Structure 1
Amino acid sequence: MLALAGCGRAGAGEGGPTVPVVVSAPVSSEPWVARSIEGGARLAVEEINEAGGLDLQGGKRRLELVVLDHGSSPATALANAREAVRRKAAVLLTDGTGVASTADVTGPAQIPTFILFQGGRNLINPQRWPHVFRLAPADAIMTRRLADYIAPANPKVALLSDDTDYGEQGREALRDAFEIDEVEVVSEHVIPRAARDLAPQVLQARRAGANRVVVWAGAATVAATVEAVHQAGWDVEVLAGQTAEDPLVRQRLAAHPEWMRSLKFVSSRITAEVGPKPFEAFRKRYEDLLGTDKVGVEQDGRDVIQPPDWAMYPYDALKLVAEAVDQVNTLGQPMLDTLNGGASIIGANGDQRSYNAEYHEGISPTDTYIAGFDGFVFGPVDDDPLAGLLHPVDQLD
């Protein structure tokens, strides 16, 4: 069944019929991921509408944001894609759930589909799906960065992943990265998504001689891993994917801020070579419209704030679509051809965003970094060459 969550009317109303922008996200299952996609899209819709809307043949058309919850179900994601086709949406924005099926629905309708979170290598195939683009770091990029970071220490790794699409895709990429860097995996476990007690898996990893724990899973599993490690009295570093910055991790570990120091994660950088000013300007516009996103924990008597880093991607995706429409004044195939061969923007953090017909990845390998926690605040680590060049981002209210 189709589930609607916060079905927005941003820009609907005056000026005639609107053009839908459809978000298909895990609203009920991964709220932080969904909020990032919806929030970035909402800001872009507001700004495009303030400028008059999309410049289409026949005049300007305002955008309408429609948010659909797929609850991490590929079947529901497919239903959401059919709804986007029924509504004649300009674009479908998704975390990536069910893309292998939804792409076969949005393709014939010539609806560009942007993956804004998941990094699995099989989700992007420009020859098969010339309308599917990724504006998020690929797993192959992030896992190689993580492997390169730990490889000099010749670690013995315990690999934990969950049984979601995100976990399965990440596990495959980690195996490849560890093989290239000759990182030894001494223990490996696939965790059911609903699992909360990981003491048995952590005990087996410790007995196997692991001195690093790498977990690629949803935020709840990342939190459960850190909790199990510390409850066992095991002094070991835990490394994860981008889900480690999900506020849920810090909420689950709120009673033990000292445990957070054992957790590091790989993600895409927030600020770019040009410095922090572009992101700071984007962040101000975002928070002026939507407010600050409080994590739900305090540090030094102040509220910890989640920066809208992942909200940059849906924002940039819609601005790129608007740029393509401005060049051809229509939706459908002409707009897709322009996305595949010429449309370019400067993104929210100052990085350039563009694609070509052969390459549909939107994040460069040089744009990933390793982050760590100081209490409940995260930032670039000191011992990673790229991370050391990045600017810290304020996270205290």
Structure 2
Amino acid sequence: MKSLRTQLTVLLLTLGVATAQAADPVKIGGLLETSGPVASLGQPGLEGAMLAVEQINKSGGINGRPVEFVNVNTESDNTRAVTAVKRLIGQGDIAALVGPMNSGSSFAIIDTVQRAAIPMISNGGSRNIVLPAEEKKWIFLAPLTDVLVQGVMMGDMKKRGITRIALLNADSPFGTSGREQLEKNAASYGITIVSQQSFGNADQDMTPQLTKIRGTDAQAVVVWATGPGQAIAVKNARQLGIDVPLYLSHAANDFNFLRLAGPAADGIFIPSSKIYVTDALAAADPQKPVIETFVKDYEAKYGKPPATFAGNAYDSVMMLAAAMKKAGVTDRAAIRDAIEGLKDHVGVTAVYSYGPADHFGAKGDSVVMLTVKDGKFTLAR
């Protein structure tokens, strides 16, 4: 009897998948940058999104319909991002969007997305992408935001007795947003910014800015940037003999950063998702089994460990699927409302709960402090 039950279960699952494959697909548009300076974020993002689609379809799709992910490479360029989103929206059958990893590109397409009244989960890390929520009702975030991770970072500084910091940020939207939020909130942690320097995203040397910082009484240096610039800054700081703690943004929790920074990365601090330290998580942590399964499936599919950005886009697709199943339709307004109504959705990057005034979703206990030891991420102590 047990064998017959098992056979029937397999048959029903097979029929469910076959039905989903035969139905018209539910289309999700992607704006993930697989070339250009932010490709190191967008490419793993696309891989994570495609893994989510594969898993959804294997489990029968969305209400019996398969998911199709249509990605248009924005080339890490804001103007191309606008063209790409118009192209996707113009297809007419795209139910929702997974937005860029690049904050600048996310900002560039907000007005277009709002006018089209199509829900989008952005993967940019700037809080202002969704603020104010009542004016950006169609936009949500999947990554950890600058304010969220800075709170954990400054809490770590307070624990270490650090009260004076220097800030070096890229002049990109991500870097500028991070600077603004740090300037706004540092005092509430008893921290003073004694020097603020900036650099261009394409700069190859930050020695002049770091030399100025070295001449201050800063007890730590914060580098807020994305892409190769953050690795260059860390190398330059080591070359100058700056021996105070170096804190980087959550964009540095990336294998490409470790590769570019090399031995100079050892000892830095990074606020991060939990994706690299699942072995150290408590058994009761609700994210632990979700992350472990994701990592195993990602490695089986792509033959390499996932970067945190893969988890961001994976979560974006999974949350859109959850919202679509709840809405029961592909009506864009109903999907938007369902995303806003998601509560305690356990993802790879975070546990998410959205609301009318909260389009960030990610909760503070989803963030951990990492350090780098012997070229590998590990929990900071």
Question: Is TM more than 0.5 here?
Answer: yes
Match of residue 216, structure 1, among 213, 219, 224: 224
Mapped to 2, the partners of 1:70 and 1:216 lie a distance apart of 23
Deviation, 1:142, is 1.2
- Of 23, 28, 35, which residue of structure 2 is paired with 1:21? 28
Contact 2:269 2:372 (8 Å CA) reproduced: yes
In 1, are the aligned partners of 2:253 and 2:308 still within 8 Å (CA)?
A: no
Report the CA distance between 1:16 and its aligned residue.
5.9
Distance 1:346 1:179 in 2: 32
Inter-partner Cα distance in structure 1 for 2:352 and 2:189: 30
Look up the equivalent residue of 2:27 and give its one-letter code.
Answer: P
Instruction: Report how many aligned residue pairs link the two structures.
Output: 350
Instruction: Give the Å deviation of 1:248.
Output: 2.7
In structure 1, stretches of 5+ residues that fail to align are 1-10, 294-306, 383-397
SS at match of 2:360: coil
Greater percentage in helix: 2
Whether the 8 Å CA contact 1:121–1:139 is kept in 2: the answer is: no
Amino acid at match of 2:133: P
State the shift of 1:27 in Å: 2.2
User: 1:1-397, aligned counterparts within 5 Å?
Assistant: 15=22, 17-28=24-35, 29-55=37-63, 60-87=64-91, 88-94=93-99, 95=101, 96-152=103-159, 153-254=161-262, 257=263, 259-270=264-275, 271=278, 273-274=285-286, 276-293=288-305, 307-331=306-330, 332-341=332-341, 345-348=345-348, 352-382=351-381
Task: Confirm or deny: 8 A CA contact 1:223 1:249 kept in the other structure.
Answer: yes
2:198 maps to amino acid:
V
Q: Cα deviation per residue 1:30-78 (whole Å; 9 max; x = unaligned)?
A: 12211232122101111122233332xxxx4322222222233222221
Identity of aligned residues (%): 23
- SS of the aligned residue for 1:276 comes to helix
- Cα shift readout 1:190-235 (whole Å, capped 9, x = no counterpart): 1011111111111111112323111001231221111112212232
Query: Which amino acid in structure 1 is aligned with residue 55 of structure 2?
Result: E
Per the normalisation by structure 2, the TM-score is 0.84
Is the 2:371–2:377 Cα contact (8 Å) retained in structure 1?
yes
Change over 3 Å in CA distance of 1:308–1:226 after alignment to 2: closer
Q: Which amino acid aligns with 2:83?
A: A
Structure 2 contact 21–65 (Cα < 8 Å) conserved = no
Which stretch of structure 1 is more off in the superposition, 280-289 or 62-71?
Answer: 62-71
Q: What CA distance in whole angstroms lies between the structure 2 residues aligned with 1:196 and 1:244?
A: 17
For the residue of structure 2 that corresponds to 1:285, the secondary structure is helix
> Could you say which structure has the higher strand fraction?
1
CA distance in 1 between counterparts of 2:84 and 2:21 reads: 26
RMSD: 2.5
Looking at structure 2, the residues matched to 275 and 23 of structure 1 have their Cα atoms a distance apart, in angstroms, of 25
Distance 1:207 1:82 in 2: 49
Q: Deviations over 1:226-283 (max 9, x none)?
A: 11122122322211111222223222233xx2x3223111123335623633311121
| Contact preservation (8 Å) 1:27, 1:70 | yes
